[in-house]
Amino acid sequence: MTEVIVAAFTVMLASLSGVMFTTSAAGRFLENKLSYLISFSAGVFLVTAGALALEVFELAPSLGAGAVLIVVGYILAEGVHRLMPEMHHHHDDECTRAHGAAARKIIIGDAIHNVADGVIIIAAFAVSGPLGVAATVSIVIHEVLQEISEFFVLRRAGYSIKKALMVNFAVSSTIFVGVWLGYYALASHELEVVLLSVSAGFFIHVVLHDLLPKHHEHETTKSFLQHIAVVAIGAVLMGFIAQSLADSHAHGESGHDDNEEEHHDEDEYHNELI
Q: How far is CA 3 from CA 125, 130, 196, 215, 272, in A?
A: 8, 11, 18, 40, 11
Measured from the Cβ of residue 112, the count of other Cβ atoms closer than 10 Å reads 18
pLDDT higher than 50, residue 95: no
pLDDT higher than 60, residue 270: no
Q: How far is CA 211 from CA 17, 244, 272, in A?
A: 19, 25, 35
What is the average pLDDT value for the chain, to the nearest integer?
76
Q: What percent of the chain has pLDDT over 90?
A: 7
Please report the pLDDT score of residue 38 as a whole number: 78
- Say if pTM beats, i.e. exceeds, 0.75: no
- Residue 264 lies in domain: 2-273
SS3 140: helix
What is the band of 256 on the pLDDT scale with cuts at 50, 70, 90? very low
Q: Where are any strands of DSSP class E within the chain?
A: none
Alpha carbon distance 12, 109 (integer Å): 16
Alpha carbon distance 205, 107 (integer Å): 20
Please report the pLDDT score of residue 130 as a whole number: 83
**190: DSSP letter:** G
Diameter of the chain measured on Cα atoms: 61
Phi-psi category of residue 92: left, alpha or beta, with phi > 0 → left and psi -120 to 50 → alpha? beta
pLDDT in tens, 15-57: 777 666 555 555 566 666 677 877 888 888 888 888 888 888 8
DSSP-assigned states of every residue in 70-98: HHHHHHHHHHHHHH-GGGS----GGGGG-
SS3 197: helix
Please report the pLDDT score of residue 71 as a whole number: 92
Q: Which residues contact 40 (CB under 8 A, 6 or more apart)?
A: 141, 230, 231, 233, 234
What mean pLDDT do residues 100-105 have?
66
Contact between 38 and 211 under an 8 Å Cβ cutoff? The reply is yes
Please report the pLDDT score of residue 43 as a whole number: 85
Please report the pLDDT score of residue 88 as a whole number: 53
Q: Which of 113-122, 124-133, 146-155, 156-165 has the lowest mean pLDDT?
A: 146-155
Degrees, nearest 5: CA angle 132-137-140: 120
Alpha carbon distance 143, 29 (integer Å): 19
pLDDT higher than 90, residue 229: yes
What is the band of 98 on the pLDDT scale with cuts at 50, 70, 90? very low
Nearest to 206 by CA among 95, 116, 122: 116
Please report the pLDDT score of residue 258 as a whole number: 47
Count of domains forming the chain: 1
Q: Which residues contact 179 (CB under 8 A, 6 or more apart)?
A: 4, 5, 8, 118, 119, 121, 122
What mean pLDDT do residues 55-62 have?
85
pLDDT higher than 70, residue 215: yes
Q: Which residues of 231-264 are buried (b: 16+ CB within 10 A; e: fewer)?
A: beebbeebbebbeebbeebeeeeeeeeeeeeeee
What is the band of 253 on the pLDDT scale with cuts at 50, 70, 90? low
Q: What percent of the chain has pLDDT over 70?
A: 73
pLDDT in tens, 129-149: 888 888 888 888 877 777 776
Alpha carbon distance 136, 76 (integer Å): 21
